[in-house]
Amino acid sequence: MSNRTRLNITPSIKEYAKSFGARFDKRLKEWYVEGSVPAELEELVCREIRSRDYVSEVSPSCPKCGNKMVFRSGANYQFWGCSRFPVCRATLEVGKSISPIQHVLSHLQSNISSSNQKSKCKSEADILVNDRRKAVIALAIVLFGSEHQAMKWLTIAKVSLGNVTPLDFMTSIVGCDRVELLLKERFA
């Protein structure tokens, strides 16, 4: 099999895509083009969906070596451990640092604040969305029984949310409501 690039082709543009070399693989049930992608088909290339890993984006730095720390949990405890383990064995207790959920919330809040820098204060809508987001995250923690399990669920893209992570989806009251509904339908 040569170098194939997958394409996202709808029935309405099937003939157009064929005219530029697109082919359909009946066994895999997907459209593709072999070799280099013609400029006319560039917009149709399937992009890999990457779910954001908020915990690693906002995790604390190791006090010994400066590398990012990784959230870990045992049977009865949670802690931050150095990502260079076993070379570096530094740890931070979650109680003495900020929990992953608190890290994510502060990261999300800073994103909202930076997008609204024109107005020096938070709007009422931003405050309401942030409070609503916190309530949905708290519900996830209750339903999953731990921050770690809730965080795992909140940071994986969901098909029912259009292949977006619940955390990325909760940018409005409506988004928060939809994530809450999804949680209750599946886990309550």
Question: Does 73 score more than 80 pLDDT?
Answer: no
Are 26 and 61 in a shared domain? no
Identify the band that residue 80 occupies on the pLDDT scale cut at 50, 70 and 90: confident
**Domain shared by 98 and 146, yes or no:** yes
159 falls within a domain: yes
pLDDT at res. 19: 92
What pLDDT shows up at residue 93?
75
- Domain extent at residue 106: 54-187
Structural domain includes residue 154: yes
| 70's tokens | 């990784």
Same domain, 123 and 170: yes
Whether the predicted pLDDT of 90 surpasses 60: yes
Residues 87 and 24 reside in one and the same domain: no
Residue 144 lies in a domain: yes
Identify whether residues 18 and 38 lie together within a single domain: yes
Q: Is the pLDDT of residue 113 over 70?
A: no
Q: Are residues 165 and 94 in the same domain?
A: yes
Distance CA(164)–CA(170), nearest Å, equals 10
Residues 72 and 107 in one domain: yes
Bridge partner residues of 107 (DSSP)? none
114 and 152 in one domain? yes
Are residues 66 and 154 both part of a single domain? yes
| pLDDT value of residue 119 | 43
Q: Would 66 be classed as within a structural domain?
A: yes
72 and 29, same structural domain?
no
pLDDT tens-place string over residues 116-171? 444 444 567 777 888 888 888 888 888 888 788 888 888 888 888 888 889 888 88
Q: How many structural domains compose the chain? A: 2
pLDDT at residue 21 in the model: 92
| Statement to judge: residues 40 and 95 lie in one domain | no
161 and 106 inside one domain: yes
User: What gap in Å lies between CA 49 and CA 164, rounded to an integer?
Assistant: 8
- With respect to residue 49, please indicate whether it lies within any of the assigned structural domains: no
Quickly list DSSP for 127-167.
HHHHHHHHHHHHHHHHHHSSHHHHHHHHTS-BGGGTSB-HH
